[in-house]
Structure 1
Amino acid sequence: MNILLFIFNSPQEWILVILVVFLLFGATRLPQLAKSLGQTRKAFKDGMREAEEEEKREAEARQQISPAPVTPQISELSDEALAEELRRRAETKQA
């Protein structure tokens, strides 16, 4: 809209543009055009709002997903814990 303010900076230019619009579309067609423009604008805003809400839902879903449990590194385990971990892994391979 700022571009139009720079192009049409005098009231005479605005009046001329309005007259041309009336001549092109007629007085009966202008309310229909305005209504259509309003509906289009509303649909666009609704679409933008829905996209933002969907993005928020996806972000919340990503935060709720918990990562897989982290198994300790073998070098961090004591001898007993290491033996237990080796037994557990052997059982998992056999199953």
Structure 2
Amino acid sequence: MIDPMIGMPQGAEWLVILAIVVLVFGAAKLPELARSSGQALKIFKDETKNLKDDDAKRTSAAPDALETRPEVTPTETHETSGEVLHERRDDTTT
């Protein structure tokens, strides 16, 4: 159960928090702090959008990726267990 005394700051509590921030960072640094926070948020949003776009491109191109896999063929068996060992054959080398 959540304690009703613990929650979001309201009214005068925000003023106390603001006063502490001004004391810690100084009044001259607050605009710079806000500007850098805004730039960081903008960069974060741009990067998450780019990741979503890359994922969408990757999922639409997934069937093509299966065709370009190198072929794997059995080449020899392991002497003690009879397990087939595989060697990757690259079609680009002749």
Moved over 6 A (4+): none
- Bigger radius of gyration, 1 or 2? 1
1:12 corresponds in structure 2 to: 12
Partner of 1:39: 39
Q: Which runs of 5+ in 2 are unaligned?
A: 1-5, 68-94
Structure possessing the higher relative contact order (Cα contacts under 8 Å, 6 or more residues apart): 2
Unpaired runs of 5+ in structure 1?
A: 69-95
Higher strand proportion (structure 1 or 2):
2
Report which of the two has the higher share of helix. Answer: 1
Tell me the equivalent position of 2:24: 24
What secondary structure is seen at the aligned counterpart in 2 of 1:6?
coil
Q: Number of matched residues?
A: 62
Q: Percent identity?
A: 31
Q: State how far apart, in whole Å, the 2-side matches of 1:60 and 1:30 are.
A: 45
TM-score, L = length of structure 2: 0.58
Q: How far 1:62 moved relative to its partner?
A: 1.3
RMSD over aligned CA atoms reads 2.2
